[in-house]
Structure 1
């Protein structure tokens, strides 16, 4: 599980030095938890195959990443082309999101599908949303209708919805509890994910 040391990685100066720390400190956690999340999804969706992807940040040549993440999708060769799950970490928090980023071909249809679900899909009150996967800021769910409208109209719009866990909770005393909450958040998003997977 993540520890205070996981968050301190983002204090390290320099691309290579920070990436070395990400690989040794954070990516093994992504692998461990990610495999459990893949197993959970296989149970929920027994007819689908799921693949764990861990961000490598290979396109970076100068600036060290301000966050890092893993993703789970039904595509073996990538994840950004479809709605997918992300488990990631910023300097201040860990997140589990259902994500639509980087202009997938079905973006408008995803937005329409999710808008149709707004009246029936009940999301927990402590869930939040992100409008840009490159920024740490997040918003309350009352902004979801406007964010969905923008997702359907603006090509570069993004949407991520899920739960965050502040860095202060990762004190080594609540690991099992947090892992359970991460897996429960994935399950709570699965009804929406099911509908998004069926978008043609």
Structure 2
């Protein structure tokens, strides 16, 4: 389904042109792939999940630098809750689990992050304090990422995986299963964090 031509949407430097390419070339893939992810998640966890595909409706001048689908467990919206994303920057695919700066009950997540810190580091996920940047730091930096998230209110908490468009997997053209596997591996943090929060309330 996904292939190296996905990145051609970013070659159009106009807002309308890039949005049209995203809508035509990527959104149908997100719809099919995301629906399959929802089925896997609901079968595995026996819980309800919700998907949103980015529409970039607030953009009026500059073309979107990335595009994605998001999955969470709150039908009201995903940005103020823990959520998973699968998407593209111009040079890579990304799969991330995020707690954004304005998440509801932000401070309640601090001890949960510390609880799962060692596991996230051991599994070798990339980490970041900025969901608007494509750069993920090594897992060994996670302690600093958590500390920054606790101190700086404008910061995000991002854990994830990236697949560069120059990688052997992308060049060979057969990596749908890899993306699905990484997404499902990361999904346990979405479910676990939500369960931890529910026990606090």
TM, length-normalised to structure 2: 0.89
Q: CA deviation at 1:24?
A: 0.5
Q: Is the 8 A contact 2:120 2:139 kept in 1?
A: no
Q: What RMSD over aligned residues (CA atoms) do the two structures have, in Å?
A: 1.8
Matches within 5 A, 1:173-188: 173-175=172-174, 178-188=175-185
SS state of the match for residue 118, structure 2?
coil
For residue 137 of structure 1, what is the aligned residue in structure 2?
135
Instruction: Report the more deviating stretch, 36-45 or 162-171.
Output: 162-171
Q: Which runs of 5+ in 2 are unaligned?
A: none
Residues 182 and 3 of structure 1, relative CA distance in 2, 3 Å threshold? closer
Q: CA deviation at 1:123?
A: 4.4
Q: CA deviation at 1:102?
A: 4.1
Structure-2 separation of matches of 1:124 and 1:146: 17
SS state of the match for residue 123, structure 2?
coil
Structure-1 separation of matches of 2:122 and 2:186: 8
Residues 14 and 190 of structure 1, relative CA distance in 2, 3 Å threshold? closer
Structure-1 separation of matches of 2:84 and 2:143: 20
Q: CA deviation at 1:4?
A: 2.5
Structure-1 separation of matches of 2:141 and 2:121: 15
The structure whose residues are more often helix, as a share, is 2
Q: Which runs of 5+ in 1 are unaligned?
A: none
Residues 122 and 144 of structure 1, relative CA distance in 2, 3 Å threshold? closer
Instruction: Report the more deviating stretch, 50-59 or 146-155.
Output: 146-155
Structure-2 separation of matches of 1:22 and 1:7: 10
Q: CA deviation at 1:194?
A: 2.5
Matches within 5 A, 1:102-113: 102-113=101-112
4+ residue stretches of structure 1 with deviation over 6 A?
none
Q: Number of aligned residue pairs: give it.
A: 195
For residue 164 of structure 1, what is the aligned residue in structure 2?
162
TM, length-normalised to structure 1: 0.89
For residue 153 of structure 2, what is the aligned residue in structure 1?
155
Structure-1 separation of matches of 2:63 and 2:35: 26
